[in-house]
Copies of this chain bind each other. A is one copy, B any other.
Amino acid sequence: MGLVTISDIRAAADRIQGAAVRTPLLRFDDRLWLKPESLQPVGAFKIRGAYNAMARLTEDVRARGVVAYSSGNHAQAVAYAAKLFGVPAVIVVPDTTPRVKVEATLSHGAEVVQVPMAQREARAAELVAERGATLIPPFDHPDVIAGQGTIGLEVLADLPDVAAVLVPVSGGGLISGVAAAVKALSPGTRVIGVEPELAGDAAESLRAGSLVRWPAADRARTIADGLRAEPSELTFEHMRAHVDDIVTVSEEQIGEAVGVLARRARLVVEPSGAVTVAAHLARPAERTVAVLSGGNLDPEVFARHL
């Protein structure tokens, strides 16, 4: 299986310029720097991968539109990127999706199709067949991984002697790209994944050396709703090649990190994005960068952690 290379990631960086924010690296204290991807247009890093994948399509193919199935940050990113390209997007969401998320997607001009949870994938495949549209997967695609990897390029440009980069792990697209970039440019920098204890399947898999599957119901227990997916073969191969370790944090540590980031870094970060800071606070180390993957959370949940 071919891994994403540093030249794939450099090419992605050229493509996404102007579409994704070149986020700053923010100094938090003497040891920690923050990479606030919560400041992206859709509130999450997902725009990098989604936009890169769409930029790689030929104009003809792209004009027939794109499809995604997701109720989370990836759906928003695909809808937003499609708007930038001026092409149609259809987002397939479970019929249990909160109205506010549906409206956010509609606000980017996307069409939203609501189906029972179990039919999401099948309905998306139908739409692809019917319309000749292209499916943009949330993580299991080299172009998506290369787009997320641009974060690694930016971290090294801003802090060349970074000792460790902490990255949230769910499906693994983010850490695959970041690790590919970091290890190509600075092999001595450690790349460490972070998962909730309650969805620690990737940590277990990396230790076992092969993919260990957890039941979806188990992974759904964590408050970090963006970290409930599981790695694919492609992302797991990237992790095996490039990731030094994956650590886990408790639900309490995650909630505490959300509050610390609001009070001390003036950032609204969702639980999934705050796991990296939770890991750092539990075991601080020198010259560490924490990737804050996103900032979309219920205001009431947020207020509870202030």
- Chain A: residues with CB nearer than 8 A to chain B? 21-24, 26-27, 36, 38-39, 41, 43, 259, 262-263, 265-269, 295-296, 299-300, 302-303, 306
Name A306's contact: one of B39, B265, B296, B302 (CB within 8 Å): B302
Chain B residues with CB under 8 A of A299? 259, 262-263, 306
In the complex, what's the smallest C-beta–C-beta distance from A166 to chain B, in angstroms? 19
* Interchain CB contact under 8 A, A266 and B43: yes
Name A262's contact: one of B21, B36, B41, B268 (CB within 8 Å): B268
* Interchain CB contact under 8 A, B266 and A267: yes
Chain B residues with CB under 8 A of A266? 38-39, 43, 267-269, 295-296
Name the CB-closest residue of B to A23.
B24
Name A39's contact: one of B26, B259, B263, B296 (CB within 8 Å): B26
State in angstroms the CA–CA spacing of A259 and B268 once bound together: 11
In the complex, what's the smallest C-beta–C-beta distance from A72 to chain B, in angstroms? 15
A/B interface sample: 24 pairs, CB < 8 A: A21-B24, A21-B26, A22-B24, A23-B24, A24-B24, A24-B39, A26-B39, A26-B41, A27-B41, A38-B266, A39-B265, A39-B267, A43-B266, A259-B299, A262-B268, A262-B299, A262-B302, A266-B267, A266-B268, A266-B295, A266-B296, A267-B268, A299-B306, A303-B303
Name the CB-closest residue of B to A26.
B39
Known A-B contacts: A43-B266, A266-B267, A299-B306. Give 10 more (CB < 8 A): A24-B24, A24-B39, A26-B41, A36-B39, A39-B265, A39-B266, A259-B299, A267-B268, A302-B306, A303-B303
Name the CB-closest residue of B to A24.
B21
Chain B residues with CB under 8 A of A26? 21, 39, 41
Name the CB-closest residue of B to A36.
B39
State in angstroms the CA–CA spacing of A288 and B66 once bound together: 31
In the complex, what's the smallest C-beta–C-beta distance from A83 to chain B, in angstroms? 10
Name the CB-closest residue of B to A297.
B266
Chain B residues with CB under 8 A of A268? 262, 266-268
In the complex, what's the smallest C-beta–C-beta distance from A73 to chain B, in angstroms? 12
Chain B residues with CB under 8 A of A259? 299
Closest 8 CB pairs of A and B: A266-B295, A266-B268, A299-B306, A303-B303, A38-B266, A303-B306, A21-B24, A43-B266
